[in-house]
Amino acid sequence: MKEINVGIIGLGTVGTGVFKILGKFPQIKTLKIAVKNINKKRNIEGLDESILTDNPFEIVNNPDIDVVVEVMGGVEPTFELLKTAINNGKHIVTANKELLAKHGRELFESAKEKNVVILYEAAVAGGIPIIMPVKTILGANKVEQLAGIVNGTTNYILTKMTEDGISYEQALKEATELGYAETDPTGDVEGFDAVYKLAILSAISFNKRVDYKKIYREGITKIRKEDILTAKELGYRIKLIALAREIAQGLDLRVHPMFVKADKLLANINGVTNSILLKGFPVGEVVFTGAGAGEMPTASSVVGDILDLATELKYSSYPLPLMRCKHEESAVQVDINETYNEYYISLTASNNPGAIGVIGTICGRNNINLSVVMQKGTNDDNTAEIVVITETSKEQDVQNALRELIKSDCIKEINSLIRVMN
């Protein structure tokens, strides 16, 4: 078999896994590995430290390297490195969702010009095969909807809050201690990571260019333990959902927490596990579940991509045509205000007669019907928490109603608004 030479940029969590697994495939030769700190003690079995460099340009400019494996992360200098690699005619395998969401267009365009491919199976849900299935065997389908739990950190936090009745802060602390959350967890808990993944996944599912900046985003930092408890009482679980669906006006793309009926599959995906449910025609519903991160699961996807490339390069000078970027048209992305949802809303109201009537009147005035109205006991300061669930309503109407509610004398606070999955 023809030997393929790879250069790996990054030898952290994913890079180490990739290096270890590649050792089992003699047809793939790792010529060089770039790291930031060349003096770091590595203790990686089988690693000849003389192939390490702290200059990643030595990899992208190395004429002997066929495939550049980018598992370093970040946007700069990664973008510059991959552009150089592509210009030098190298195929790319990357796990970098942020880079692809932000600069995918330029990278895929240069790859097309240079007749090379960019493979990124690990970028969306770590070890779960989703990119290749959507681009290949599901190709006959018109995708109608995607709904996924694509961030393990937030799913771990929400699971802990649900199972142990603890606050967001406590659950985040536990996640950090266990290494499931980074020291700065913003990218995960504010939903940025899920937005990057959704941008990539929706672009290939709907065959349109997607602007990640126009994807509506809300993280989980405002979820209260009271919301988790009420959700449970009403037969739901709260999950951070990445949602994509095609509606009459265009693509409705968003990442935000949702009430999910407790008997639905996504409600039962717990801990750091990821799961993506795809609805399409003619396939119907398919679900992809597994490890969305971690050294070995992520390396499994990266090495899978490298092996596919190696096999193709043996037979063809135009490898993996199915994995090339086909779409040129930009998606019309629908503003969240134009979407229709059911909503869970928690309010603090003065515990006086008529408060529920005021809520009903204001909602009614804004075209919102209520399917659940519940008072959750009273507080010492003569206020009470009132929870409502709406029937399907327009986001703009709900936001207008909230503005009116907060101005009314008897509503003291809007505690939460969480959309309900139907």
Ligand X SMILES: NC(=O)c1ccc[n+]([C@@H]2O[C@H](COP(=O)([O-])OP(=O)(O)OC[C@H]3O[C@@H](n4cnc5c(N)ncnc54)[C@H](OP(=O)(O)O)[C@@H]3O)[C@@H](O)[C@H]2O)c1
Site of interaction with ligand X (CB under 6 A): 9-15, 34-37, 40, 56, 71-73, 77, 95-97, 122, 126, 293-294, 298
Q: How far is the CB of 208 from ligand X (least distance, A)?
A: 24
Compare residues 8 and 368 and give the one whose CB is closer to ligand X: 8
Compare residues 56 and 280 and give the one whose CB is closer to ligand X: 56
Compare residues 36 and 213 and give the one whose CB is closer to ligand X: 36
Per 3-state DSSP, what percentage of the chain is helix, strand, and coil (rounded to 5)? Answer: 40, 30, 35
Q: 32, 97, 135, 197: which is the annotated catalytic residue?
A: 197
- Going by C-beta distance under 8 Å and a sequence separation of 6 or more, which residues neighbour residue 15? 8, 9, 33, 69, 71, 72
Compare residues 35 and 251 and give the one whose CB is closer to ligand X: 35
Other Cβ atoms less than 10 A from the Cβ of 395: the count is 18
Q: How far is the CB of 97 from ligand X (least distance, A)?
A: 6
Q: How far is the CB of 2 from ligand X (least distance, A)?
A: 27
Task: Find the DSSP H helices in 136-280.
Answer: 152-164, 168-177, 186-189, 192-206, 225-233
- 309 HSE (CA, 13 A, CB side): 27
Q: How far is the CB of 126 from ligand X (least distance, A)?
A: 4
Compare residues 71 and 143 and give the one whose CB is closer to ligand X: 71
Give, in order, the Cα–Cα distances in Å from 333 to each of 135, 219, 248, 251, 339. 21, 20, 11, 5, 11
- Going by C-beta distance under 8 Å and a sequence separation of 6 or more, which residues neighbour residue 68? 6, 7, 9, 59, 60, 81, 82, 85, 90, 91, 92, 93
Q: How far is the CB of 181 from ligand X (least distance, A)?
A: 12
Locate 264 and state its tokens: 């639905």
Locate 45 and state its tokens: 């079995």
Q: How far is the CB of 16 from ligand X (least distance, A)?
A: 8
Q: How far is the CB of 279 from ligand X (least distance, A)?
A: 25
Distance CA 236, CA 229 (A): 9
Compare residues 54 and 109 and give the one whose CB is closer to ligand X: 54
Compare residues 69 and 161 and give the one whose CB is closer to ligand X: 69
The structure tokens 């970098």 sit at: 96
**Catalytic-residue membership of 197:** yes
Q: At what angle do helices 97-114 and 78-87 cross, to 10 degrees?
A: 20
Longest dimension (CA), the chain: 81
Looking only at the bridges linking them, the beta strands covering 118-119 and 411-420 are: unpaired
Distance CA 237, CA 159 (A): 9
Compare residues 250 and 290 and give the one whose CB is closer to ligand X: 290
- Going by C-beta distance under 8 Å and a sequence separation of 6 or more, which residues neighbour residue 355? 349, 384, 386, 410, 411
Q: List the one residue out of 75, 73, 53 whose CA is nearest residue 7.
A: 53
Q: How far is the CB of 128 from ligand X (least distance, A)?
A: 10
Active-site annotation, residues:
197
